[in-house]
Amino acid sequence: MAQNNRLPIYAVIFTVVFKLLFLLTHYIQEDAFITWRVAQNLLDYGVIGFNGETKISASTTHLYVFVSYLFNLIFGKEYFIEPLLTFNSILFTVGTLFLAHLTLKNPWHKAIFIFLIGILPPSIKISILGMEYGILFFLEMALLYYGFSKNKRWALILFPILIMFTRIDTVIFLGIVFLVDIFWNRKIRWQYVFGGMLGVLSILSFNWLYFGELVNNTIVAKKLLYEQDFTFAQHINYFLASFGNFWGMLKLPGNFNPVTIVILIFELLCFIYLVRQREKRNYFLWMIFIFGWVKQIIFLSQKSLFDWYYWVPQLLLFVPILIFVLEQKEKRNVWLSLLVIFYVVPMLAFQTMHAIATGHGEWNYRREIGLFLDTFEKDKKQWILLEPAGYVPYFSGLKTIDEVGLVDKQIQTEIKKDKAHYWINTVKSRKPKYLLSYKNLFEGNDAAYYQTHYKLMKEFRIKDNLKSDNPILEKIYHLKPSGTDYNLYIKND
């Protein structure tokens, strides 16, 4: 019996080791490099910023900045990435252990659950892409396990603070948990209320006292640039065209994704089947399922189409399917085999190819642009205007103006004054030494200015990067080419 009780721990270890193979793909999200540069800016200048001594909340997450800072401090700037990604993977997988304890009783079921949910596409991305969601998932599941299952008062106070410092939008998760708890127990956990108030007060106070703003600059910048006026009918059409690509595990092009809609229906049916059993775990199933729905609806309604916003909800909404299959008393092996053969394995295969292709496009292409500039330009006080602000600024070391304004607030002023022409106005007023653009700047209305003041330095083309000595890898690169064609311009002396 004691040996069986250790099975979930063994599953955690095995799952982490299995997923570390994906580190070989170098599949790291652009935004991770923004956070890591902020952490290194804190290391070099003692300031949470992006460009030297200028304070700016360029990263969405404060807690992960501090964690990244510690890993840079311990392992050095050259060697911290792999240890940090391993740490993220361990934390996320321990979070799935907590979730298994909350929803399952049989140790074998828990072990299988931990591995199967751990190799789904969102789980792999949470673990290896370098984002803050490994820490976030761990903290959220730890709150449910220690605070609401084990009734630890310290957990009800501590975890809401840490969760809010990881991402400010986690107020959605904390609020759903609060409402379900009140409905279920007919009483208020005042320690949790106190923890939630401390969490909100501490993050808002930190933002205001350190940055002079209540919410992170990343939120303000995206809202400013991407905000558009939609009619009610346009809002509905936008939602209907988008929702099917986020409730499942795949984000596919087009307005209709039948795979994810089938999964959505199956998730609902399994959830209804489980909560009708009147088990104690229903308390937690309601929490995670309502949160999954609410988080996705809120973010889709706000036109937030970055897929990392949906990783955690995707997994939590899939939990009822895994529980349903694992607890079948008759033909369990048939159900499990069907799930693995027709869903889990294809998803794993897809994510493997996606990670190989995207990792190649990011690490061996976009990173190369940064390394090229790092070698060419030794004066790291020179500026570059580009989008996005991940790989190229990180590996070039140049001061950066990004199109959205995540890492440089001055461009937001230009957006407010003249949104249609803010790019050329920024170039004229700031005169950055380098421009990195998707477009040919020597064509169009402002071509004369660019031709007078800048010259084309180098062209970077995706087609030149789709080569490998390994024929299988080359086929994968061509199957899913990743990256963007760029033109690099340098200011005339």
Query: Is-cis flag, bond preceding 388, omega within 30?
Result: yes
Nearest to 54 by CA among 441, 371, 401, 463: 401
Domain annotation covers residue 7: yes
Q: What is 321-375 written as a DSSP string?
A: HHHHHHT-SSSHHHHHHHHIIIIIHHHHHHHHHHHHHHHHHIIIIIHHHHHHHHH
* 80 and 216 fall within a common domain: yes
What is the helix (H) or strand (E) element at residue 457, kind and residue range? strand 454-460
Look up residue 371 and give its two tokens: 């390394």
Looking at the fold, whether 414 and 485 belong to one and the same domain comes out as yes
Same domain, 409 and 289: no
User: Does 459 fall in a domain?
Assistant: yes
Residue 278 lies in a domain: yes
Bridge pairing between strands 383-386 and 434-437: parallel
Residue 193 located in a structural domain: yes
Residue 319 lies in a domain: yes
Does residue 237 sit in the same domain as residue 302?
yes
Asked if residue 192 belongs to a domain, the reply is yes
Question: DSSP assignment of 427-442, as one string?
Answer: HHHH--SEEEESS-TT
Question: Is residue 36 within 8 Å of 79, Cβ to Cβ?
Answer: no
Which residues contact residue 75 at a Cβ distance below 8 angstroms, ignoring those fewer than 6 apart?
83, 84
302 and 370 co-located in one domain: no
Q: What is the C-alpha to C-alpha distance for residues 411 and 413, in angstroms, rounded to an integer?
A: 5
Are the C-beta atoms of residues 301 and 235 closer than 8 Å to each other? yes
Whether residues 314 and 407 share a domain: the answer is no
Residues 437 and 304 in one domain: no
Residue 291: what residue type? F
In this prediction, residue 236 carries a pLDDT of 75
pLDDT at position 3 = 62
- Residue 55 near residue 47 (C-beta atoms within 8 A): yes
Going residue by residue through the chain, which has 493 residues, state the pLDDT in tens, using 9 for 90 and above: 556 789 999 999 999 999 999 999 999 999 999 999 999 999 999 999 999 999 999 998 999 999 999 999 999 999 999 999 999 999 999 999 999 999 999 999 999 999 999 999 999 999 999 999 999 999 999 999 999 999 999 999 999 999 999 999 999 999 999 999 999 999 999 999 999 999 999 999 999 999 999 888 888 888 877 777 677 777 777 776 666 666 566 666 566 677 777 888 899 999 999 999 888 899 999 999 999 999 988 888 777 777 888 899 999 999 999 999 999 888 888 999 999 998 899 989 989 998 999 999 899 899 999 999 999 999 999 999 998 888 999 999 999 999 988 999 999 988 889 888 899 999 999 999 999 999 999 998 899 999 999 999 999 999 888 888 888 988 988 887 887 899 999 999 7
**CA–CA gap between residue 284 and residue 160 (Å, rounded):** 17
The residue among 271, 304, 327 that closes a domain is 327
Residues 6, 144, single domain; the answer is: yes
Domains identified in the chain, total number: 2
8 Å CB contact between 298 and 173:
no
> pTM for this structure?
0.93
Identify the bridge partners of residue 460 per DSSP, sorted by sequence position. 486
State the amino acid at position 103 in one-letter form.
T
Q: Is 487 helix (H, G, I), strand (E, B) or coil?
A: strand
The answer to whether residues 397 and 311 belong to one domain is: no
> Within 10 Å of residue 188's Cβ, how many Cβ atoms?
11
Among 2, 13, 11, which Cα is nearest to 110's?
11
336: in domain: no
Same domain, 261 and 410: no
Q: Using a CB cutoff of 8 Å and minimum separation of 24, what contacts does 468-476 make?
A: 473/356, 473/360, 476/353, 476/356, 476/357
279 CB-near residues (< 8 Å, 6+ apart)? none
Backbone angles phi, psi at 156, to 5 degrees: -65, -25
Beta carbons of 156 and 191 less than 8 angstroms apart? yes
Same domain, 372 and 318: no
Q: Find the domain containing 32 and state its range.
A: 2-327
Compute how many other C-beta atoms are within 10 angstroms of the C-beta atom of residue 227.
Answer: 11
Q: What pLDDT is stored for residue 233 in this prediction?
A: 79
Domain final position from 267, 302, 327: 327
Based on the domain organization, do 106 and 188 belong to the same domain? Answer: yes
C-alpha triplet 334, 115, 15: angle, nearest 5°: 150
Burial class (CB in 10 A: 0-12, 13-18, 19+), 400: buried
The domain boundary, picked from 296, 311, 327, lies at: 327
Sign (positive/negative) of CA torsion 46, 52, 53, 55?
Answer: negative
Helix (H, G, I), strand (E, B) or coil at 3: helix
- Residue count of the chain, please give it: 493
Q: Does any domain span residue 342? A: no
Strands of 454-460's sheet in order across: 399-402, 383-386, 434-437, 486-491, 454-460
